[in-house]
């Protein structure tokens, strides 16, 4: 492992990677608890696969942006450490699979040489911040949100307030009111707005809070119609501090922010957010968008030297080119340039194709490739006179399929291919659905009204809950046998400006009847919709019961064949082998581990204080209080589900009983965190109090263990 220790220039990153290597070794030796190790590796983008002994590695690409050099680096990494496949995700990450755990530090170090991180790509953290892929070139945008997404990413990476939350946090920036980043299904969503004050144009954002998909989808609520641009990061930090303290930590299925807001009410949540204002690291955080790196774009030819389209390289299929141009390309707000979308089947690109694509991008587009939230790619700043040649070259590598973001462009997660939580296959049926549409409904490549999305389970990585036609993996029982199934959902979608619709669950059918469901829905819409009627309007007019009746014959299990018991893409009989999901980590409940963790956080609090990072030091000290109190409560078999509960229960079981002395109580001492400015004086005082509490707790714990040992000896 010596190579990454000497080649990396960033000491913080180097320490991170060395620490991962150390923790892997401790875990293998048995000196590090499995649950604690799981939490640590998830926060470093290392996720256990369905297949035992190998890992999925999630590569974090803020708002899906990558350079040609980064694409080539990731391709090299996949070839060396994984399977030579790049999987584009709905959160604009890239995932590689079948990686050896021991190789992950080395892999990470090589990625960091081109400024690519794994940090906080999984686990109870702020996940990859997503944004509209067309940000910066969108003709409808008030301004480019890319610098804001980048700044948000940088601010919360390794930030103490979001390193060990109850669950993950998802943040999105849309480029316009069209809301192509789906802000309404995020914990925090931002839509750019402009207003004028005294003749001056002011930038700001509409802010949405508390959205999420999963088994119980919630639509986000608007909390600010206009929040000035310099306030969005302080506001986000305040929201995260409240979620960290009050969010559920025992039942992971109730631990997202949407459940906390639903439990205590939006008004109370906002009150708690406002209480954090005094303690924030910064009350205003301007984003200097003028320093955001300018894109090096290909030169536009002058009119005299421009080559007319008709003299360009002949195309064997002009009709296909016209379809591609109509569905995959659009005029940017920058005159003379086009954005070009690339449709990627199931989001999977083999590395040889990725390298050829990189060469094409260098010739015809800007060095700014964006992963889209429907698992495709966007190339920027393609000169108009390069479009035909670009199409021909993309066609040569199999990436010129028309119909981007149409009915024929189906979003899907990996499902049972690699995911622990997958119930039934999603990639195989997505590919089949695209084939059905291409062969039987070819005109639907021009339809962007009907979106089809598929997930391997109810958790929603394929975004099935907001699809016009959605499916998620499930199972059905027929006698003593179990067969793969699809839950059918209809009527979801994006309305715009932070509003959306959650699809209705209609019924469940055997997976092998999925194509019949698709045909029935598309045929019915084509034959019975009124002139110009959008799909969701048609669904609303007919009603859920109508569609239930339409599809009910396909649920009949009396006509099953042997093939129905074999999932798509498989050859053996189906079984529901569902593993333990790791999307949000697992609670650590061992007393010794928690005290060790408190000591580690105390070290971080001292280090950040030495570096004059007072706010960070204070938050680490707060974590020392909470982890230590939690350890002692667990020693009494008292398991609290929130940090707020831990603080209250410690008073009840340790302070009121006279075991520990706090004046007036433990709660008041700990919650000094949001009653003070993050000054050096308070950071020093708070750290000293946290250290004293930690040492007293360790002494108390040691005495308890000595007493237990003595009593056991007497009994013997």
Q: What is the pLDDT of residues 64-76, one digit of tens each?
A: 999 999 999 999 9
Total domains in the fold of the chain: 5
Instruction: Mention every residue, 6+ apart, whose C-beta is less than 8 A from residue 234.
Output: 277, 280, 281, 282, 283, 284, 285
Domain boundary among 251, 270, 289: 289
Q: What is the pLDDT of residues 123-173, one digit of tens each?
A: 899 999 999 999 999 999 999 999 999 999 999 999 999 998 999 999 999
Residues 379-388 have a mean pLDDT of: 97
Distance of CA 278 to the CA centre of its chain: 30
Q: What is the pLDDT of residues 453-483, one digit of tens each?
A: 999 888 878 899 999 999 998 889 998 889 9
Whole-angstrom distance, CA of residue 518 vs CA of residue 122: 33
Higher pLDDT, 676 or 566: 676
CATH number at residue 164: 3.30.413.10
150 and 237 in a single domain? The answer is yes
pLDDT band at 424 (very low <50, low <70, confident <90, very high): confident
| Residue at 427 is within a domain | yes
| Residue at 504 is within a domain | yes
CATH number at residue 36: 3.90.480.20
392 and 416 in a single domain? The answer is no
Domain boundary among 524, 548, 565: 565
Its pTM stands at 0.92
pLDDT band at 617 (very low <50, low <70, confident <90, very high): very high
258 and 134 in a single domain? The answer is yes
421 and 392 in a single domain? The answer is no
Whole-angstrom distance, CA of residue 541 vs CA of residue 532: 14
Res. 216: pLDDT tops 60: yes
Name which of 457, 413, 469, 495 is nearest 185 in CA terms.
495
Q: What is the 3-state secondary structure (H, E, C) of 106-136?
A: HHHHHHHCCCCECCCCCCCCECCCEECCCCC
Residues 98-114 have a mean pLDDT of: 94
| Residue at 122 is within a domain | no
283 and 321 in a single domain? The answer is no
Task: Determine the structural domain holding residue 421 and report its residue range.
Answer: 411-565
Taking all residues of the chain, what is their mean pLDDT, rounded to a whole number? 90
Which pLDDT score is estimated for 364?
Answer: 97
148 and 247 in a single domain? The answer is yes
| Residue at 282 is within a domain | yes
CATH number at residue 360: 3.30.70.3340
442 and 536 in a single domain? The answer is yes
Res. 208: pLDDT tops 70: yes
Residues 560-580 have a mean pLDDT of: 76
Res. 578: pLDDT tops 70: no
| Residue at 345 is within a domain | yes
Of the listed ranges 370-374, 629-633, 690-694, 710-714, the one predicted with least confidence = 710-714
Q: In sequence order, which ranges of 422-473 are alpha helices (DSSP H)?
A: 427-440
Q: Are 451 and 493 in contact (CB under 8 A)?
A: yes
Residues 1-16 have a mean pLDDT of: 68
**3 state SS of 303:** coil
CATH number at residue 627: 1.20.120.330
251 and 360 in a single domain? The answer is no
70 and 215 in a single domain? The answer is no
Which pLDDT score is estimated for 175?
Answer: 98
Which pLDDT score is estimated for 574?
Answer: 74
pLDDT band at 710 (very low <50, low <70, confident <90, very high): low
| Residue at 570 is within a domain | no
pLDDT band at 707 (very low <50, low <70, confident <90, very high): low
| Residue at 299 is within a domain | no
Whole-angstrom distance, CA of residue 52 vs CA of residue 30: 18
137 and 285 in a single domain? The answer is yes
146 and 71 in a single domain? The answer is no
Residues 272-300 have a mean pLDDT of: 93
Query: Residues 351-377, buried b or exposed e (16+ Cβ, 10 A)?
Result: bebbbbbbebbeebbbbbbbbbbbbbb
pLDDT band at 580 (very low <50, low <70, confident <90, very high): very low
Residues 95-113 have a mean pLDDT of: 95
100 and 154 in a single domain? The answer is no
Which pLDDT score is estimated for 7?
Answer: 62
Residue 200 forms beta bridges with which residues?
197
pLDDT band at 596 (very low <50, low <70, confident <90, very high): confident
């Amino acid at each position: 492992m010596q190579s990454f220790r000497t080649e990396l220039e960033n000491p913080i990153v180097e320490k991170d990677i060395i620490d991962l290597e150390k923790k892997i070794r401790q875990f293998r030796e048995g000196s590090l608890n499995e649950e604690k190790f799981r939490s640590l590796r998830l926060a470093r983008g290392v996720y256990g696969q369905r297949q035992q002994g190998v890992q999925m590695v999630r590569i974090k690409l803020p708002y899906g942006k990558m350079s040609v050099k980064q694409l080539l680096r990731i391709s090299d990494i996949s070839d060396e450490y994984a399977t030579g496949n790049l999987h584009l995700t709905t959160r604009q990450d890239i995932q590689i699979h079948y990686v050896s755990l021991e190789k992950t530090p080395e892999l990470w170090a090589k990625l960091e040489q081109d400024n690519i991180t794994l940090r906080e790509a999984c686990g109870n953290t702020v996940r990859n911040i997503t944004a509209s892929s067309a940000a910066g070139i969108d003709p409808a945008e008030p301004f480019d949100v890319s610098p804001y997404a980048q700044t948000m990413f940088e601010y919360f990476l390794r930030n103490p307030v979001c390193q060990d939350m109850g669950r993950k946090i998802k943040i999105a920036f849309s480029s316009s009111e069209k809301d192509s980043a789906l802000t309404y299904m995020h914990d925090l969503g931002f839509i750019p707005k402009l207003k004028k004050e005294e003749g001056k144009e002011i930038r700001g954002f509409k802010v949405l809070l508390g959205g999420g998909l999963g088994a119980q989808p919630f639509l986000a609520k608007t909390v600010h119609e206009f929040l000035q641009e310099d306030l969005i990061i302080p506001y986000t930090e305040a929201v995260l501090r409240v979620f960290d303290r009050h969010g559920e930590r025992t039942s992971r299925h109730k631990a997202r922010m949407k459940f906390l807001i639903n439990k205590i009410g939006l008004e109370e949540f906002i009150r708690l957010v406002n209480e954090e204002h005094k303690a924030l690291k910064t009350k205003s955080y301007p984003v200097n968008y003028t320093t955001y790196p300018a894109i090096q774009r290909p030169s536009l030819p002058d009119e005299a030297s421009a080559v007319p389209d008709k003299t360009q390289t002949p195309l064997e299929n002009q009709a296909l080119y016209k379809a591609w141009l109509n569905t995959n390309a659009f005029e940017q707000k920058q005159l003379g340039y086009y954005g070009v979308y690339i449709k990627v089947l199931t989001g999977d690109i083999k590395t040889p194709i990725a390298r050829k694509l990189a060469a094409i991008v260098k010739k015809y587009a800007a060095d700014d490739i964006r992963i889209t939230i429907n698992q495709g790619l966007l190339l920027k700043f393609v000169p108009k006179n390069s479009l035909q040649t670009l199409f021909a070259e993309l066609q040569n590598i199999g990436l010129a399929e028309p119909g981007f973001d149409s009915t024929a462009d189906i979003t899907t997660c990996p499902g049972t291919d690699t995911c622990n939580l997958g119930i039934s296959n999603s990639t195989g049926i997505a590919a089949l659905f695209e084939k059905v549409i291409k062969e039987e409904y070819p005109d639907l490549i021009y339809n962007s009204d009907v979106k089809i999305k598929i997930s391997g389970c109810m958790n929603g990585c394929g975004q099935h809950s907001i699809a016009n036609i959605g499916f998620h993996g499930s199972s059905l029982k027929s006698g003593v046998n179990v067969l793969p199934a699809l839950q059918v959902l209809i009527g979801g979608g994006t309305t715009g400006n932070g509003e959306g619709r959650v699809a209705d669950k209609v019924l469940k059918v055997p997976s092998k009847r999925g194509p019949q469901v698709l045909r029935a829905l598309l045929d019915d819409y084509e034959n019975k919709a009124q002139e110009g009627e959008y799909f969701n309007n048609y669904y609303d007019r007919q009603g859920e019961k109508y569609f239930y009746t339409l599809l009910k014959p396909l649920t009949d299990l009396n006509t099953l064949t042997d093939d129905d018991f074999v999932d798509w893409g498989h050859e053996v009989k189906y079984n529901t082998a569902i593993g333990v999901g790791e999307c949000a980590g697992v609670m650590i409940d061992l007393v010794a581990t928690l005290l060790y963790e408190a000591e580690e956080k105390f070290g971080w609090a001292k280090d950040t204080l030495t570096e004059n990072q007072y706010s960070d030091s204070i938050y680490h000290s707060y974590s020392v209080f909470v982890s230590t109190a939690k350890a002692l409560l667990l020693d009494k078999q008292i398991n609290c589900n929130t940090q707020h509960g831990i603080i209250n229960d410690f008073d009840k079981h340790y302070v009121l009983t006279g075991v520990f002395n706090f004046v007036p109580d433990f709660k008041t001492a700990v919650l000094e965190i949001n009653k003070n400015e993050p000054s050096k004086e308070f950071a020093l005082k708070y750290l000293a109090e946290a250290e004293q509490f930690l040492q007293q707790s360790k002494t108390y714990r040691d005495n308890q263990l000595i007493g237990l040992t003595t009593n056991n000896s007497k009994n013997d």
